[in-house]
Structure 1
């Protein structure tokens, strides 16, 4: 038997402690927080056409990308790498949606995002499409809706969003209180992450006025920065901005550290507190991974075509962000195993909507494209503008207008040129009504010049016009003088500044939307109550030749230089 004397045990313990004291403690490794971001989903439960150039390729590729089961499959794969992954979004999750979602008040889209584990999203302009009451119903659930024919029709007990809508810069003008929370704190791996939301300050330009009546939309950067003290008081150490405003880049969707970003998001990012290192943006439907004044600014295109993968590396002691790595990942159908649960859910939604969506409404000679020629004109835009005039001709209307941003899809047809209700509704999903008004020739001239006066955008926004209006424009001239003098004609007769013309546009444009304030000056205004979609369907029924090459592009608008 071996006997350990107390003196030897003490000596051994002392030597052991001395050895430990002489070995430097190993510093803890870096901390990593992983995020995945989505923006401008617009209720696209199903995959849709996406054209992109894969890395290393020389030619673009067109695929059917996205779909809720593929998105969930991708998130499941990413969560295998990090179960604590934070899934966030930058607005326009609903609204302007395909019929399979919009016919049920977008409730299936919100439920799908719940099942994907979305944590938070900024508000987007389309969350306001039906006004604050519906926005708050989509957040909290219930069936009390301004759309009683759609709400709770998919399921009788709509629970609302399991994620949090955020908007620091939208407040009740009377009380000064936020419509929804401006920010929230999320604990990720023991690190408190402050998520701050905002929507574009120029919300009035992209929203029907009645939808934001009584709301005050404040400067984005100032409202975001004002959230930091409260977040710090809650222990937040990392700050992430989710903002529904964006820009455009001249580099590929997947090129990290891009330096060509331009548009409204740039000025906003430059005004943000230096503690904010990551800005997840939306609204401009573009893929980019850029840097602005040391901040990483991302966007993931639209419709679920891309997901942004973002890795934050933090100092283990100070918790300061040391590095940010980002990738935009294409949601290709063969890249991820679709989630079986959401595949079954999508099949159920399709089954419940199939009877209505599959109803034939017209027959055409071929598909009508919304793709714009260099002049800004498109075959589908022409048809929609003509349809609006035809629907209001008895009210003396001479000229019709349509905004390109309101045309969400090409008009496609099936066998024998048959157009279904679902295909037509995908083109004009907003349910806008037609508004007629009087404008003078001088006001019409101003209106046309406003196509290039875009304070909230980086490029022109050419209006589709009915066949009764024709004009030329010169891109070498400065904004305000681009319409060629003497070229504007109504029914072949030169426009007269002092003459009054009866015009029609959807209620969004008629309120001055899309930065066309000249529409708001119209007199003798009347909302006809006729939906733009119904007008288009009636027009197609009377013009089965639409889509034929001979009538596809009559050149109402000419760009001479």
Structure 2
């Protein structure tokens, strides 16, 4: 039997090879590839952690991923392929960090990012967590800090970040000048690339108001576009936007050219100058590789679990971008040989941190006090526990009710053998180190405060305020905004609160200034800031309950907040 296709297969292969060689030879000698690696929303996660995801083949995966030593190993391998690879970020690289970073004022993470060779990053809202002065210290170095208990405690001298923070849309209203540079110009393969950074314009609503006094956060797209003429005057015609704002999609994190991106980033990208071909985003903690009006828009998840690898094909003769592509790479353990410098650095960080964080605090009643429930926006067991600890700390100041924001609770409260909680476990839950404020609110103000939870759907994005023991209420989701509290249901120790009566309330300083879109807190009377940190209040409460033979903690939330529809 004749097999004409079989007999001609070698010829077919040779013909295909010749065709491919011909295509390769058609690429002009003036075209070069610029390789970029990106991080966003790292949040000081210098240690690996569990990562669950579904890839573009539909396979579900769950594995240990990330860690700064894993990232360093990957970059070492990628730089072996291209020694001029550029490394940039899209904000929130620090802040809301695990204890191994937060207890040292994130200096351990900043030192690790210096070792990685990070060149520039936009600021994120969490870079402002400790205020503008602390952000500048972290950029420039030094030990004069609003957090003297943390700053320069890992090393006696903090040298500052070797990379540049960018914020095109943040202006100092006193000087009317940019608070930070708008852009950074990096060169690779003879091409100047302008990285322009911006942070979400709503930053003032999600950070401590006093910490950013005098700063104005403007429209992201307008600010980025304004930087282009200045860059062009410097001979830069290849632009990449680093924007700490994001979106969401149903597509897998490694799905190329996904078409289903939604959220704030989409409108923002559409308003950018057409010359900007690549947008590296963040904030929403999602992984995607999408196209918006033909532009490449990427995000690399969070916590260092994923890095984006972006390639720009640039014609150096015309100084224009011909093509863009990207892929998201999960930072799996032991994929690449270790980076010796990072391995040595992390050994030192672990040793120093373990000495402090391994100290036991108290025994709990359960092995885990959970942050998440079936509805992540509702009451939680850890929310109940932290609110109770705040109330206990505030009682010497007359506190009757405590309120805690869910966004300030970063993890479940886990324990080690025998249900013993350490400082590391507590730091994982409360990494911000907020102090507590006490104030008077009327019954009418408390009801107004509770109604603010649902304005513009904020109970979905922020979660309900967590409340202390003895305070209860019911709400009805079927009612319109501003009318969701069930009349007569707001009770303190079983007694209905009265509009004209005054109640002593304790909360963290962030909420006390009206953070997380709760302006009623800022209107409280007879305000008394305390020196007590939330984590210290929690530690003291757990220790006292343990000493009393009544270990704290529950596997289930207490039912203080009831949704009836």
> TM (normalized to structure 2)?
0.89
Per-residue CA distance 1:499-542 (angstroms, 9 max, x = gap) = 32221110001111111112112111111221110111122223
Q: Secondary structure at the match of 1:327?
A: strand
Residues 308, 419 of structure 1: CA spacing in aligned structure 2 closer, same or farther, 3 A cutoff?
same
**Contact kept in structure 1, 2:406 and 2:462, CA below 8 Å:** no
Look up the match of 1:437: 439
**Contact kept in structure 1, 2:49 and 2:65, CA below 8 Å:** yes
- RMSD between superposed Cα atoms in Å: 2.3
Does residue 166 (structure 1) correspond to residue 170 (structure 2)? The answer is no
Structure 1 stretch displaced more, 385-394 or 449-458 = 449-458
Per-residue CA distance 1:366-396 (angstroms, 9 max, x = gap) = 1111113326111111111111111112323
- Cα distance in 2 for residues equivalent to 1:26 and 1:288: 29
1:317 deviates by 4.0
Residues 515, 548 of structure 1: CA spacing in aligned structure 2 closer, same or farther, 3 A cutoff?
closer
Look up the match of 1:33: 34
Q: Structure 2 residue aligned with 1:480, among 475, 479, 482? A: 482
Residues 441, 148 of structure 1: CA spacing in aligned structure 2 closer, same or farther, 3 A cutoff?
closer
Q: Secondary structure at the match of 1:355?
A: helix
Residues 427, 264 of structure 1: CA spacing in aligned structure 2 closer, same or farther, 3 A cutoff?
same
Does residue 95 (structure 1) correspond to residue 95 (structure 2)? The answer is yes
Q: Secondary structure at the match of 2:250?
A: coil
- Cα distance in 2 for residues equivalent to 1:291 and 1:468: 51
Look up the match of 2:182: 182
Look up the match of 1:489: 491
- Cα distance in 2 for residues equivalent to 1:288 and 1:440: 46
1:439 deviates by 1.8
1:458 deviates by 7.2
- Cα distance in 1 for residues equivalent to 2:561 and 2:480: 18
- Cα distance in 2 for residues equivalent to 1:309 and 1:227: 25
Does residue 366 (structure 1) correspond to residue 370 (structure 2)? The answer is no
Counterparts of 1:290-305 in structure 2, within 5 Å, are 290-305=290-305
| Structure 2 unpaired stretches of 5+ | 1-24
Highest CA radius of gyration, 1 or 2? 1
**Contact kept in structure 1, 2:56 and 2:255, CA below 8 Å:** no
**Contact kept in structure 2, 1:184 and 1:196, CA below 8 Å:** yes
Structure 1 stretch displaced more, 539-548 or 465-474 = 539-548
Q: Secondary structure at the match of 1:153?
A: coil
Structure 1 stretch displaced more, 118-127 or 151-160 = 151-160
**Contact kept in structure 1, 2:192 and 2:236, CA below 8 Å:** yes
Counterparts of 1:101-116 in structure 2, within 5 Å, are 101-116=101-116
- Cα distance in 2 for residues equivalent to 1:417 and 1:462: 28
- Cα distance in 1 for residues equivalent to 2:220 and 2:194: 16
Q: Secondary structure at the match of 1:386?
A: helix
Look up the match of 2:552: 546
1:167 deviates by 0.7
**Contact kept in structure 2, 1:37 and 1:309, CA below 8 Å:** yes
Residues 156, 314 of structure 1: CA spacing in aligned structure 2 closer, same or farther, 3 A cutoff?
same
- Cα distance in 1 for residues equivalent to 2:314 and 2:457: 38
Look up the match of 1:469: 471
- Cα distance in 2 for residues equivalent to 1:245 and 1:115: 26
Per-residue CA distance 1:2-47 (angstroms, 9 max, x = gap) = xxxxxxxxxxxxxxxxxxxxxx998436432111110121222211
> TM (normalized to structure 1)?
0.90
Look up the match of 1:14: none
Q: Structure 2 residue aligned with 1:499, among 493, 498, 501? A: 501
- Cα distance in 2 for residues equivalent to 1:460 and 1:242: 25
